[in-house]
Amino acid sequence: MRERLPAYPRRVIRFPDITTAQDFIQAQYGEREGFFYLADYLLSRVFKYDAGANRILWATQLPVFRVYAVDYNRALNRVVVAAGTRIYELDASNGTIKREIASTSLGPLGSVRFVRYHREQPNHVFFTDYANHVFGRLNMDTGAVDYLFGSYGTSRYDNTGLNSPLGFDLATNPSDGTVASRIAIADQGNNRVLTIRPGTTAVEYVIPMSGAGYVEMWGDHIDKTYFDPGYMLASPSPFTWKTGEAMRLIEWGRTELVAPFFVDAPTFSPYDKMMFTGCRRYAAEWDMSAFLYMRDVPDDYVSVIAENATVGAGATYPDNPWATVITNLHTRRAVVIHSTQPATGYIDVPKGYLHANTDKMLKPGFTWEVYDSFPVEAGRWSTYILTCPPPVFRVRVVMGSAAGAVSIYTYGWR
């Protein structure tokens, strides 16, 4: 039986002098003195907030549709902002716009969702481009860009590319302090987190994570110079809400723990085992070490996997084998499928995933195996109940002799 432990933030910082409704998609600690930099998603603003004095130091309105994420560099005293079709750099003292980048050496920015300064080369910024399906490194002085992983403008679901990536994290090489001994990328469109080694395009590990949005690898120091690659924490994307699932805590090569997290848009700071969340008029600081041994079950939740998807005769839906991946915390789960024509539903799991002592960080060459199958009748809802659901599974439908439309839902309960 799973143990239920309460989860409370270490502190909550409210913003009484902010009177208009907004949605802080990211709250980022930038300085040891306790200043927050906040990305205001809905109103396209960036704030610097003094948590000690509980007041706004400056607010900068940006001429873009959305603002997604920020990062602070102490050496430059600058703030870099992920703002969709733009990357901005602001003066951290007063919020003045110092630089605006809309295009790179390989083409225009599509939708930049996450940014981090390069700690050893401050004029370089790592970023993900959600619309162009790439993870790259940008020279802020010249506009030159290296796309370190992914194919610019092309989504992929194999191990050679990305599909709408969001967050990422960089681990520092403990031998010489250079970035990075490991890079983790939340491949949101493929419901997974990938890890790669710098200087290569080969995937090291694949971690299933439905709605993968943000990822953090924990180190012993803020600059991660002495990073111990023992833990990875991943959270769902605030843009998907497909699963209502919780975060995944992966302990390298040994075990996996889970912790439900009922706050909007969790994002991470570079501080060891600390996380900050921003939503509406508050930011919360969380000590994630308190979650190391948590067990809990989320509230009942319905996930919409597909609605009225057109599937050809004899074809398999979805084409992307990662599109319907579910990371499950519920003690019971139902898969509900509606098809206009007779079909067969399948529940697949990563091969060997249910075996004892299996590494939850899968090698890129792994395969899926059938957990179970069930008939899907034409014109009615067919339900398959998993009374002891696997922690990770995917759903697929194989049509019969006629083409039809398919809808897939899952429902989890305690």
| 391 Cα distance to chain centroid | 18
Pick the CATH number of 301-413 from 1.10.3470, 1.20.1300, 2.60.120, 3.30.420: 2.60.120
Is it the case that residue 69 has pLDDT exceeding 60?
Answer: yes
Q: Which backbone phi and psi does 26 adopt, to 5 degrees?
A: -150, 135
Q: Which backbone phi and psi does 188 adopt, to 5 degrees?
A: -60, -45
Domain definitions of the chain by residue range: 11-291, 301-413
- Low-confidence winner among 97-111, 148-162, 242-256, 301-315 (lowest mean pLDDT): 242-256
Dump strand ranges (E) for 312-414. 316-317, 325-327, 332-339, 343-350, 368-376, 381-386, 392-399, 404-413
Question: Does 11-291 match 301-413 in CATH topology?
Answer: no
Choice between 305 and 261, residue whose per-residue pLDDT is larger: 305
CA distance 191 to 188: 5
pLDDT at 224: 41
Q: Which backbone phi and psi does 92 adopt, to 5 degrees?
A: -70, -15
CA distance 218 to 360: 17
CB 366 within 8 A of CB 358: no
CATH topology of domain 11-291: Methylamine Dehydrogenase; Chain H (2.130.10)
| 233 Cα distance to chain centroid | 10
Give tens-digit pLDDT for 264-284: 455 555 444 555 665 555 566
Question: What order of strands is seen across the sheet that includes strand 112-117?
Answer: 112-117, 124-129, 134-139, 145-150
User: Would you state the structure tokens that stand for residue 113, as one six-digit string?
Assistant: 């969702």
State which of 169-173, 316-320, 363-367 shows the largest mean pLDDT.
316-320
CA terminus-to-terminus distance, the chain: 11
Choice between 141 and 280, residue whose per-residue pLDDT is larger: 141
CB 410 within 8 A of CB 326: yes
